[in-house]
């Protein structure tokens, strides 16, 4: 069997259509949802994502602010910027692009964000609310994965979801969301990671395999059950002399072999990546609606 592709571009277009209507409705009340992104330093990959976010905001008719601070920015200066954004009524949500330079304590910065503006859903308050099933925001990447599954008609309830990876930004919240009560969830979740013994024996039991371990081509066909749905969250840049810029983006799944075994699969690029930005926009719109009492 060759797997059907789940494309982030297609799924995100659907969601953008819905967001446009919500933004229009806010604008008719004189509210323009505002999203700010803070970038510290000059990491080229981060610059690309930040530019993509700004472009999408403008396309949707949202207010977009990009703040670029030098690599040498002190923690106090960054915290002052966070305080300013917390107080700015034109900004409904903002995020600080990670990773931060080594001299800045990421936790201190995340903790300083007003939870009602925390569109990344990284603040401990929002992580806790999500975990107990009272989400105010959902983290963008796991929320994007969930939307891809739901909108592709994947049966989730009662199924075995295996999450490969246990990061705070993908693996952990993904597992929490899939085990939650309710539509788009209700699954049985196993989390495996770099210290798991017999990892392949567990991934082979997955009806839905979600991979976010940050190792190029980590999941091979022998680790996947026939007919499984495979979601690849990995974004690894690998050298490729035949590519224009000498490198290309690959996932954590060995796409060419796994696609012959899976029933559905997400490619990299063009899979989860575009969903991350889409769900970030969705969170900004939700933040604006919530502040307006909608």
Ligand X SMILES: Nc1nc(=O)c2c([nH]1)NC[C@@H]1CN(c3ccc(C(=O)N[C@@H](CCC(=O)O)C(=O)O)cc3)C=[N+]21
**Residue 97 annotated to the active site:** yes
Near ligand X by CB under 6 A, which window of 152-160, 176-184, 193-201, 274-282? 274-282
| Tokens at 76, concatenated | 């106090």
- Residues in region 210-229 near ligand X by CB under 6 A: none
What is the Rg, in whole angstroms, of the alpha carbon atoms belonging to the chain? 19
Q: Which of 53, 117, 172, 225 is catalytic?
A: 53
- Measured from the CB atom, is 94 or 159 closer to ligand X? 94
Whole-angstrom CA distances from 184 to 112, 135, 157, 223, 281 are 31, 14, 7, 25, 20
| Tokens at 212, concatenated | 């976010």
Strand 160-164 and strand 247-250: pairing? unpaired
166 assigned binding-site residue: yes
Task: For residue 34, give the H/E element and its range.
Answer: strand 34-40
165 assigned binding-site residue: yes
CA-nearest of 192, 175, 122, 185 to 155 is 185
235 assigned binding-site residue: yes
Q: What minimum distance in Å lies between the beta carbon of 95 and ligand X?
A: 4
| Tokens at 240, concatenated | 């490729």
Q: Print the binding letters for residues 87-126 with ligand X: x by CB under 6 A, - otherwise.
A: --------xxxx---------------------x------
Q: Which of 120, 207, 232, 252 is catalytic?
A: 120
Q: What minimum distance in Å lies between the beta carbon of 243 and ligand X?
A: 11
**Residue 53 annotated to the active site:** yes
User: Exposure string (b/e) for 156-190, b if CB count within 10 Å is 16 or more?
Assistant: beebbbbbbbbeebbbbbbbbbbbbeeebbebebe
- DSSP per position, 132-143: TT--SS--HHHH
Q: Which of 16, 49, 137, 218 binds ligand X (CB under 6 A)?
A: 49
Which residue is associated with the tokens 């690998």? 238
CA 260, CA 265: separation in Å to the nearest integer? Answer: 10
Expressed in percent and rounded to 5, the helix, strand and coil fractions of the chain are 40, 15, 40
The reply on whether position 171 binds ligand X by CB under 6 A is no
Q: Print the binding letters for residues 250-269 with ligand X: x by CB under 6 A, - otherwise.
A: ------------------xx
- Measured from the CB atom, is 168 or 205 closer to ligand X? 168
CA 165, CA 154: separation in Å to the nearest integer? Answer: 21
- Measured from the CB atom, is 180 or 276 closer to ligand X? 276
The reply on whether position 48 binds ligand X by CB under 6 A is yes
CA-nearest of 178, 173, 182 to 229 is 178
The reply on whether position 140 binds ligand X by CB under 6 A is yes
- Measured from the CB atom, is 95 or 202 closer to ligand X? 95
203 assigned binding-site residue: no
CA-nearest of 198, 195, 193 to 212 is 193
- Measured from the CB atom, is 3 or 202 closer to ligand X? 3
**Residue 88 annotated to the active site:** no
Q: Which of 56, 81, 97, 159 is catalytic?
A: 97
Contacting residues toward ligand X, per CB under 6 A: 48-49, 95-98, 120, 140, 235, 249, 268-270, 273-274, 276-277
Active-site positions? 53, 97, 120
Q: Binding site residues for NADP(+), as ranges?
A: 165-167, 235
């Amino acid at each position: 069997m060759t797997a059907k592709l789940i494309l982030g571009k297609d799924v995100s277009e659907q969601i953008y259509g819905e967001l446009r209507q919500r933004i229009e409705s806010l604008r008719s009340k004189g509210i323009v949802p505002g999203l700010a992104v803070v970038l510290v330093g000059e990491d080229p990959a981060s610059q690309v994502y930040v530019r993509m976010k700004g472009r999408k905001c403008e396309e949707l008719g949202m207010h977009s602010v990009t703040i670029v601070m030098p690599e040498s920015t002190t923690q106090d200066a960054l915290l002052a910027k966070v305080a300013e954004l917390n107080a700015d009524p034109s900004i409904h949500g903002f995020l600080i692009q990670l990773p931060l330079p080594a001299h800045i304590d990421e936790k201190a910065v995340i903790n300083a964000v007003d939870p009602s503006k925390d569109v990344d859903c990284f603040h401990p308050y929002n992580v806790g609310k999500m975990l107990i099933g009272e989400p105010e925001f959902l983290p963008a990447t796991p929320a994007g994965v969930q939307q891809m599954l739901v909108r592709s008609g994947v049966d989730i309830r009662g199924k075995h979801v295996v999450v490969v990876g246990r990061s705070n930004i993908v693996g952990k919240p993904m597992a929490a969301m899939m085990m939650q009560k309710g539509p788009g969830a209700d699954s049985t979740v196993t989390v495996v990671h770099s210290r798991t013994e017999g990892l392949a024996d567990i991934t082979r039991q997955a009806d839905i395999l979600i991979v976010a371990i940050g190792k190029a081509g980590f999941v091979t066909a022998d680790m996947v059950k026939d007919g499984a749905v495979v979601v690849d969250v990995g974004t690894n840049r690998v050298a490729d002399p035949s590519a224009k810029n000498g490198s290309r983006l690959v996932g954590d799944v060995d796409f060419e072999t796994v696609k012959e075994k899976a029933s559905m699969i997400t490619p990299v690029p063009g899979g989860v990546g575009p969903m991350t930005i889409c769900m970030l926009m969705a969170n900004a719109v939700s933040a604006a609606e919530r502040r307006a009492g909608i």
